[in-house]
Amino acid sequence: MHSPYKKDFQAAATQASDESTFDSELSILRDVFKLLPAGVTVQDEDGEFVLVNDAAAALLQTSATAPAASQLSDRRETCLELLRTGRPAMLEEAIAGPTKQVFLTSHRPIRVAGRNFLISSSTDITEQKAFEDHLFRSAYYDELTGLPARRVIEHRVNSLLKYDNGQGRFALAFLDIDNFKHINDYYGHAAGDALLAEMAKRLGLDLRDSDILSRISGDEFVLLLNPIESVAEVEEFIHFLLQRLKAPFFIDQSEIFASTSVGISLYPEHGRSYEMLRQNADIAMYRVKNGSKGAAAFFDASMEREALARMKIEQSLRLAILEKRFCCAFQPKVDIRTQAVTGVEALVRLRDDDGVIQAPSTFINLATELGLIDELTHLVLAEIVKSIDLINDSFGPDTTISMNVAAKQAGNPEFMRPFAEAIEATGFPKRFMIEVTEDAFVTKTHFQDEILPIFRKLGVRISIDDFGIGYSSLSALADITADEIKIDRSFITDIHKRPRSQGILRAIESLSEALGMTVIAEGLESFEELAYLQAATKIRYAQGYYFSKPIFLEDLKLAAPRASEARAGLGSRPTPEARPAYARSGGYRR
Ligand code: C2E
Ligand code: MG
Ligand code: MG
């Protein structure tokens, strides 16, 4: 039982403890308020600060100096305005000064004890803001050059088109740096990047506010000239830009010369959408690239027909790959002393939509450009594997089998590693020889260091194709570890009549000898050329129409049913009349 006495005592005690609890709670609240991570302030009807916690003080005190004073007065004005309307608000506040802090402040008018106050709570969103800014910039601006990205110029052109009242005229120029890949390979990617940035600066120098320059990819820029009065005016300006770009760029202590090809389309004559105008400017640029480069051309209808034809070839190439409509012609490599066939080179052929056999010159570059070359090379390898019995029958079981690999592929480990595996999987990797042009060795790719060793391990040999017409100098040969060097046909043609080519031949020959590389002459066509090589050089091997055009093995089988005959060679000293049986087969057929 409780006594009433006790009850009174308890009530008094509770009241006393309520008071002390209240005090202690108040002190806790005060501390919590003081230390809240968010900056909290309470302002009265006059905008004066009644309560300011530490975080808010820090935020507003940065402004105790001059810029801060404006911060305080801004806050006062906001307060008066919000108390007047009675509405809450969420506002961003950027703090002036070096820290560049940004706060998000939530303001809420409250009424306490018959008076109006504004309670404001601020959170530091500087980092989030910087991240958003970064996202925005990377979506709309190119990091390297600081230029607007493709979607900005596209948006601008589309809005010009949308609001055009039939009077608007503008020009879209498509600019592409000539041989940028070589610049990148030769000077390195950092220099390539610096060149792009410098290029962007030069291009942007004399633009009007209403023009836009944008980098749309790698070395491609699109320039919107808006508005324009006449074609002549555009022509003059682009000419002036081209001149400016021709001056050397000083990058990394190198003097780099870069020219640019430009194609221009005009609105409304050449298209009524961004895509159409850009595409037509691109077509005009392509025409310049295939011609003199470093110049400009306006789009015209004949170019469109050309582009359509090109697209048709593109389509049929894709289809041919899909349908595996490729085959190989084989051309023997011959020992010019014994006339024995020591190897064969597989040369790819395409059977087009109409069944006509096409030479690689009509599709290899395009296949490389379109990224189809890797697949094509695997098809060639498959063709070799399929034909291996015929190859052995026709040329002998020990002949090497050469395959061509484009320089671009040779430097790409993602292609070369699986390719090496595929060669190993044939079961006769040691018979393979890979022909690459010297570009693969001089440019800074992975070929020499990373890829060569893989092939060496498999026993696959390496040959430098078309030597003498690429970018390397003779001295570069010293750094190259290859097994064979093929001297380009341009040196061999009429060699017996050309003292300069003879000198070059001797130099290549002695260097190759010192480096332990076999030398082979390409494109040997006449008896006189052969006689010169035999009499005046130590070159042992040759390949060319003189011995045989590239041949289809099935043809050979039909022409010479007994394989041993085809293999027999020429006998001792060749004469124009005495040639091997396979010499008469043609490379291309219908
Ligand atoms: P290449 O590797 O230098 O092959 C030699 C080219 O010269 C072949 O042309 C051959 O038919 C031709 N030729 C040989 N002897 C003579 C001659 O005495 N006189 C003349 N005028 N020409 C001769 P083809 O077959 O048209 O191939 C051209 C190029 O296409 C090849 O040059 C090679 O770079 C490329 N190619 C061929 N097949 C492939 C392949 O499978 N992959 C890659 N990436 N390129 C290939
Ligand atoms: Mg070759
Ligand atoms: Mg060659």
- Per-residue pLDDT, 72: 78
Domain that holds residue 66: 17-129
Residue 180: what are its φ and ψ, rounded to 5°? -60, -35
Please name which ligand lies nearest the alpha carbon of 347.
Answer: 1
The tokens of 117 are what? Answer: 């106050």
- Per-residue pLDDT, 498: 94
Domain count, the chain: 3
Shared domain check, 146 and 97: no
CATH number for the domain that contains residue 106 = 3.30.450.20
Which distant-in-sequence residues (6+ apart) come within 8 Å of 418 by Cβ?
none
CB atoms within 10 A of CB 11: 10
Shared domain check, 156 and 50: no
The tokens of 504 are what? Answer: 């070059």
User: Which ligand 1 atom is nearest residue 409's CA?
Assistant: 44
Task: Determine the residue of 364, 381, 467, 469 to mutate for testing ligand 1's pocket, defined as the one with the most ligand atoms within 8 A of the Cβ atom.
Answer: 364
Shared domain check, 149 and 47: no
Q: How far is the CA of 347 from the centre of ligand 1 (A)?
A: 6
Whether 327 is covered by a domain: the verdict is yes
Q: How far is the CA of 435 from the centre of ligand 2 (A)?
A: 5
Closest-CA residue to 348 (of 319, 382, 315, 314): 382
User: Which ligand 1 atom is nearest residue 347's CA?
Assistant: 38
- Per-residue pLDDT, 371: 86
Name the domain boundary from 264, 299, 334: 299
Nearest CA to ligand 1 atom 30: 360
Alpha helix (H) residue ranges in 472-568 = 489-492, 499-515, 527-536, 553-559, 563-567
Gap between the Cα atoms of 77 and 84, Å rounded: 11
Whether 419 is covered by a domain: the verdict is no
Half-sphere exposure of residue 499: CA atoms within 13 angstroms, side-chain side: 0
Radius of gyration of the chain (CA): 39
- Per-residue pLDDT, 24: 87
Each as own residue / partner, the long-range contacts of residues 78-86 (CB below 8 Å, 24 or more positions apart, any chain) are 78/107, 79/43, 79/47, 79/107, 79/118, 79/120, 80/46, 80/47, 82/107, 82/109, 82/118, 83/45, 83/109, 83/116, 83/118
Please name which ligand lies nearest the alpha carbon of 378.
Answer: 1
- Per-residue pLDDT, 541: 97
CB atoms within 10 A of CB 449: 8
Alpha carbon separation from 295 to 33, 259, 481 (Å, rounded): 70, 8, 40
Enumerate residues lining ligand 1, CB below 6 A: 331, 347-348, 359-361, 364, 373, 377, 380, 404-406, 435, 465-466, 489, 522-525, 543-545, 550, 587
Name the domain boundary from 299, 332, 360: 299
Shared domain check, 295 and 146: yes
- Per-residue pLDDT, 12: 64
The tokens of 462 are what? Answer: 């390496």
Q: How far is the CA of 589 from the centre of ligand 2 (A)?
A: 20
- Specify the residue for token string 């063709």: 383
Nearest CA to ligand 1 atom 41: 348
Please name which ligand lies nearest the alpha carbon of 346.
Answer: 1
Q: How far is the CA of 463 from the centre of ligand 2 (A)?
A: 9
Chain segment 13-60, per-residue pLDDT in tens: 667 677 788 888 889 988 999 899 889 999 999 999 899 998 888 887
Shared domain check, 393 and 346: yes
The tokens of 247 are what? Answer: 């001056």
User: Which ligand 1 atom is nearest residue 525's CA?
Assistant: 18
Shared domain check, 232 and 97: no
Question: Strands 254-256, 249-251: parallel, antiparallel or unpaired by DSSP?
Answer: antiparallel
Shared domain check, 235 and 201: yes
Give rounded-to-5 percent helix, strand, coil for the chain.
50, 20, 30
3-state SS string over 428-480? CHHHEEEEEECHHHHCCCCHHHHHHHHHHHHCCEEEEEEECCCCCCHHHHHHC
The tokens of 317 are what? Answer: 């190439």
Whether 491 is covered by a domain: the verdict is no
The answer to whether residues 510 and 502 touch, using CB atoms and an 8 Å cutoff, is no
Whether 352 is covered by a domain: the verdict is yes
Q: How far is the CA of 347 from the centre of ligand 2 (A)?
A: 8
The answer to whether residues 79 and 47 touch, using CB atoms and an 8 Å cutoff, is yes
Q: How far is the CA of 495 from the centre of ligand 2 (A)?
A: 20
Closest-CA residue to 398 (of 165, 567, 182): 567
Chain segment 531-573, per-residue pLDDT in tens: 999 999 999 999 999 999 999 998 876 665 443 443 433 333 3
Task: Determine the residue of 327, 404, 579 to mutate for testing ligand 1's pocket, defined as the one with the most ligand atoms within 8 A of the Cβ atom.
Answer: 404
The answer to whether residues 455 and 420 touch, using CB atoms and an 8 Å cutoff, is yes
Please name which ligand lies nearest the alpha carbon of 549.
Answer: 1
Shared domain check, 286 and 158: yes
Whether 222 is covered by a domain: the verdict is yes
Shared domain check, 325 and 253: no
- Per-residue pLDDT, 115: 93
Please name which ligand lies nearest the alpha carbon of 433.
Answer: 2
The tokens of 111 are what? Answer: 């009424």
Please name which ligand lies nearest the alpha carbon of 530.
Answer: 1
User: Which ligand 1 atom is nearest residue 368's CA?
Assistant: 44
Q: How far is the CA of 547 from the centre of ligand 1 (A)?
A: 15
Nearest CA to ligand 1 atom 12: 523
pTM, whole model, 2 decimals?
0.59
Shared domain check, 330 and 234: no
Whether 373 is covered by a domain: the verdict is yes
User: Which ligand 1 atom is nearest residue 550's CA?
Assistant: 11
Whether 430 is covered by a domain: the verdict is no
Please name which ligand lies nearest the alpha carbon of 466.
Answer: 3
Task: Determine the residue of 347, 466, 522, 551 to mutate for testing ligand 1's pocket, defined as the one with the most ligand atoms within 8 A of the Cβ atom.
Answer: 347
Q: How far is the CA of 500 from the centre of ligand 2 (A)?
A: 24
Gap between the Cα atoms of 375 and 360, Å rounded: 15
Q: How far is the CA of 48 from the centre of ligand 3 (A)?
A: 87
Gap between the Cα atoms of 491 and 162, Å rounded: 60
Residue 109: what are its φ and ψ, rounded to 5°? -70, 135
The rounded average pLDDT for each run of 10 residues, N- to C-terminus, in the chain (590 residues) is: 52 70 87 90 91 86 52 84 90 78 90 92 88 82 92 92 88 95 87 95 93 94 96 96 93 90 95 94 92 91 84 86 91 96 96 88 88 93 96 95 93 92 97 90 73 94 88 68 92 94 90 91 97 95 96 75 40 40 39
Q: Is 367 helix (H, G, I), strand (E, B) or coil?
A: helix
Nearest CA to ligand 1 atom 20: 523
Name the domain boundary from 129, 158, 186: 129
Gap between the Cα atoms of 287 and 447, Å rounded: 33
Nearest CA to ligand 1 atom 21: 523
CA 289 to mean position of chain CA atoms:
18
Shared domain check, 364 and 283: no
Q: How far is the CA of 36 from the centre of ligand 2 (A)?
A: 76
User: Which ligand 1 atom is nearest residue 486's CA?
Assistant: 3
The answer to whether residues 528 and 496 touch, using CB atoms and an 8 Å cutoff, is yes
Q: How far is the CA of 280 from the centre of ligand 2 (A)?
A: 36
User: Which ligand 1 atom is nearest residue 437's CA?
Assistant: 34
Q: How far is the CA of 519 from the centre of ligand 3 (A)?
A: 13
Whether 529 is covered by a domain: the verdict is no
The tokens of 286 are what? Answer: 């392509």
Shared domain check, 255 and 289: yes
